[in-house]
């Protein structure tokens, strides 16, 4: 059994080659550049871990893992266009360097190349893997659209946010695990529990992310604390605060969001704390984490095979940077 970091190295070795033709360079070099920006490769490694939970790693798992990573990068290139983001991982985005039209096409062709990877696996798996991949791809698009719709809603409910976050980020984590499990010969019940483990872990991770943006230690967090508050982002914290604060606090929050004073972060955090949002968020995270571990427990394989996933889950939601 391999730990996350070991599989990360194995995947990087498999993935670090040119994925696109040389010509025309005006189309393919931008795609290649974007893949070279790196990242933690969490999704492809989850695919390998989902596979190894049930069996020795099937060589096809590397193709599916590559497809997942290519798909993820395709969504990032297109999301960056939609968000008009100038930077990704500290480097200029594709549209910032080459214009929106080329960025759009570079993303399109990356999605096609993801399907080329899927077409390399043994044909007895193709239909099942493709079905889950396609379903997930549609859901990720739905999540991105809901996220854009969401920004226009004045007072969104927590359940709407959960639904959106689940589609936008969790289902790909869950599907990566499950596609690995399919290649490992897992039964339907085990596949479902592993999927739910990934989905609920993804939500716990997002809660942690929203929490750290507000309450993280600036020394360890690595990016500006309070960024979401400054940008008026509708996070778990802000939505719950607007739903549960006393009327004066709710009015104060609305006013801070409308007026953007220089002490906005401090003031919003004071209200968050007065409403107990920090404790609430940690409790909610723990609930999702407990649910994730329940699903992992219910998978019918020796518990020692689960150790790398257990360790990864703890690492992902207890990180402070």
Residues that bind a second copy (CB under 8 A): 21, 24, 26-27, 78, 81-82, 100-102, 104-105, 107-109, 111-113, 115-116, 118-119, 123-124, 126-127, 130-131, 134, 137-138, 141-142, 144-146, 148-149
Shorter beta-carbon distance to a second copy: residue 114 or 312: 114
Residues whose CB is less than 8 angstroms from the CB of residue 213 and which lie 6 or more positions away in sequence, other chains included: 221, 223, 225, 226, 227, 228, 229, 235
3-state secondary structure of 242: helix
| Nearest-approach distance from CB 5 to a second copy, in angstroms | 32
CB of 112 vs a second copy, minimal distance in Å: 4
- C-beta closer to a second copy: residue 25 or 300: 25
User: CB 152 → a second copy: shortest distance, Å?
Assistant: 10
Helical residues (DSSP H) of the chain, grouped into ranges = 4-15, 25-35, 42-52, 60-83, 94-98, 100-118, 123-150, 158-165, 171-183, 188-215, 218-221, 227-230, 236-244, 247-259, 264-274, 277-297, 307-318
Closest residue by Cα to residue 295 from 311, 306, 285, 305:
306
In the complex with a second copy, which residue's Cβ is closer, 145 or 287? 145
Closest approach of a second copy to the CB of residue 86, in Å? 16
143: cis peptide before it, omega within 30°? no
CB of 96 to a second copy, least distance (A): 16
Q: State both tokens at 274.
A: 């007065």
Of 53 and 129, CB closest to a second copy? 129
């Amino acid at each position: 059994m391999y730990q996350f970091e070991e599989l990360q190295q194995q995947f990087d070795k498999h993935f670090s080659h040119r994925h696109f033709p040389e010509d025309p360079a005006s189309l393919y070099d931008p795609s290649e550049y974007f893949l070279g920006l790196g990242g933690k490769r969490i999704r492809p490694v989850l695919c390998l871990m989902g596979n190894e939970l049930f069996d020795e790693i099937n060589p096809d798992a590397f193709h599916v893992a590559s497809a997942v990573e290519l798909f993820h990068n395709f969504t990032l290139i297109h999301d960056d266009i939609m968000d008009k983001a100038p930077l990704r991982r500290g480097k200029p985005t594709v549209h910032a360097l080459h214009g929106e039209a080329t960025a759009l096409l570079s993303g399109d062709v990356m999605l096609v190349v993801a399907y080329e990877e899927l077409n390399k696996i043994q044909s007895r798996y193709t239909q099942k893997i493709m079905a889950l991949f396609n379903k997930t791809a549609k859901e990720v698009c739905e999540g991105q659209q809901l996220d854009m719709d969401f920004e226009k809603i004045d007072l969104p409910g927590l359940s709407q946010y959960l639904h959106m976050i689940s589609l936008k980020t969790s289902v790909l984590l869950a599907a990566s695990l499950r596609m690995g499990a399919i290649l490992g010969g897992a039964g339907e019940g085990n596949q479902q529990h592993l999927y739910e483990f990934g989905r609920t872990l993804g939500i716990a991770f997002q809660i942690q992310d929203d929490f750290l943006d507000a309450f993280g230690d600036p020394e360890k967090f690595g990016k500006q604390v309070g960024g979401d508050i400054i940008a008026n982002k509708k996070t778990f914290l802000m939505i719950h605060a607007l739903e549960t604060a006393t009327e004066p606090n709710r009015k104060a929050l609305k006013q801070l969001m409308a007026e953007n004073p220089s002490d906005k972060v401090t003031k919003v955090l004071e209200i968050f704390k007065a409403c107990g949002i920090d404790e609430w968020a940690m409790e909610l995270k723990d609930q999702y984490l407990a649910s994730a571990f329940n699903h992992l427990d219910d998978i019918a394989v020796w518990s020692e095979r689960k150790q790398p996933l257990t360790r990864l889950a703890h690492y992902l939601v207890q990180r402070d940077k």
